[in-house]
Amino acid sequence: MTTRDEIVQWLRKLAGVLTENKEYLTELDSAIGDADHGINMKRGFDKVMDKLPSVADKDIGNILKTTGMTLISSVGGASGPLYGTFFMRGGMTAAAKEKLTGEELLEMLQAGVDGIIQRGRAQPGDKTMVDAWLPALAALKEGLADDAETVDALRDAVAAAEQGMKDTIPMQAKKGRASYLGERSIGHQDPGATSSYLMLKTLLETLDASETETEAG
């Protein structure tokens, strides 16, 4: 089970990870975008951290929807609307829930990614965050179907997201600012796929640490 407190901890940890990786994400974006992805992600999650204390004791759906609305209202470029939609759609599936089973966590992530695809109209192979998310969801689904523990299935999902992220390097961008570069976009890792990988990796680390603490206690 993934608890409300673990979701809150994930968001807090993610804000720190995005701050640490601000320069890295911006560097990736400077090659094929507006050179602002890291700056925008940090700004958005700084705002989420401002809002989080007021909803930290609410249900998971409320927390995620507030996160999504905050990102949409505070982040420029494509990442605000896309990640905002991700959290809002995910929040709708988790409405009134204090805990999520592995299947409910998958449902939450799937709804979020469906929102990204609808909003950004990206297909696999377009060199976007979708190229990290889709293999990750497939791995998570497969792991849970084989009765793996949530953390173990999520570990496979993070590995798949990392591979998906790296697989964007040889792709030619077909969406967003990067698509204007045509063949010059080839050879660069997509910044959105990278921040998506960091998001999923941070979720795994949060749940893994929580499980270790429970076992130790």
Radius of gyration, CA atoms only, the chain: 16
Query: What are the chain's domains?
Result: 2-216 (1.25.40.340)
Read off the tokens for 183.
């063949």
Residue 119's pLDDT is: 94
Q: Taking the model in full, what pTM does it have?
A: 0.96
Residue 155's pLDDT is: 98
Q: Do residues 24 and 178 lie in contact, with contact meaning Cβ atoms separated by under 8 Å? A: no
Residue 175's pLDDT is: 81
DSSP string, 43-93: HHHHHHHHHHHHHTTS-HHHHHHHHHHHHHHH--TTHHHHHHHHHHHHHHH
Whole-angstrom distance, CA of residue 84 vs CA of residue 43: 13
Q: DSSP label at 184?
A: G
Whole-angstrom distance, CA of residue 92 vs CA of residue 94: 5
pLDDT digits (tens, 9 = 90+) for 60-97: 999 999 999 999 999 977 889 999 999 999 999 999 99
Residue 213: pLDDT band by 50, 70, 90 thresholds?
Answer: confident
Q: Virtual CA dihedral for 69, 70, 74, 79, nearest 10 degrees?
A: -70
Tally of residues, the chain: 217
**Beta partners for residue 3, in sequence order:** 99
Please state, rounded to an integer, the average pLDDT across all residues of the chain: 95
Percent of the chain exceeding pLDDT 90 equals: 88
Note every long-range contact of 155-161, with CB atoms under 8 Å and residues 24 or more positions apart, other chains counting: 155/204, 155/208, 157/200, 157/204, 158/197, 158/200, 158/201, 158/204, 160/135, 160/136, 161/132, 161/133, 161/135, 161/136, 161/196, 161/197, 161/200, 161/201
pLDDT digits (tens, 9 = 90+) for 103-158: 999 999 999 999 999 999 999 999 999 999 999 999 999 999 999 999 999 999 99
